[in-house]
Amino acid sequence: MIDLPLSIAKRVHAEGVLAFPNECCGALLGSVDAVGTQELRHVVDILALPNTREAEEQYHRFVITPEDYLRAEQFARTEGLDLVGFYHSHPNAPARPSDYDREHAWPNLSYVIVATLLRDGKAAAGDVTSWELSLDRSRFDAEEQVAL
Ligand SMILES: [Zn+2]
pLDDT of residue 148: 60
Could you tell me the distance, in angstroms and rounded to a whole number, from the CA of residue 118 to the centre of ligand 1? 18
Output the pLDDT for position 15. 98
**Is residue 89 scored above 80 in pLDDT?**
yes
Three-state DSSP state, 105 = coil
pLDDT in tens, 93-116: 999 999 999 999 988 999 999 999
Checking DSSP bridges between strand 110-119 and strand 82-91, what pairing results, if any? parallel
CATH topology (fold) of 2-140: Cytidine Deaminase; domain 2 (3.40.140)
For residue 36, the CA-to-ligand 1 centroid distance in Å is 30
pLDDT class for 38, splitting at 50, 70, 90?
A: confident
Nearest to 113, CA basis, from 83, 137, 138, 133: 133
Please give the distance, rounded to the nearest whole angstrom, from the Cα atom of residue 1 to the centre of ligand 1: 19
Confidence of residue 136 (pLDDT cuts 50, 70, 90): very high
CA of 116 to the centre of ligand 1 (A): 12
pTM of structure: 0.94
**Chain-wide mean pLDDT for the chain?**
95
Ligand 1 center to residue 41 CA distance, Å? 20
Q: How far is the CA of 32 from the centre of ligand 1 (A)?
A: 24
**Distance from the alpha carbon of residue 30 to the mean position of ligand 1, in angstroms:** 22
Q: Note the pLDDT of residue 114.
A: 97
pLDDT band at residue 37 using 50, 70 and 90 as cut-offs:
confident
The percent of residues in the chain predicted with pLDDT above 70, rounded, is 99
User: What span, in angstroms and rounded, lies between the C-alpha atoms of 130 and 105?
Assistant: 13
Q: Residues within 5 Å of ion ligand 1 by Cβ?
A: 98, 101
Per domain, the residue ranges of the chain are: 2-140
Give the torsion sign (CA, 75, 79, 80, 84).
negative
Distance from residue 62's CA to the centre of ligand 1 (Å)? 7
Pairing assessment for the beta strands 82-91 and 122-133 based on DSSP bridges? unpaired
More confidently predicted of 148 and 91: 91
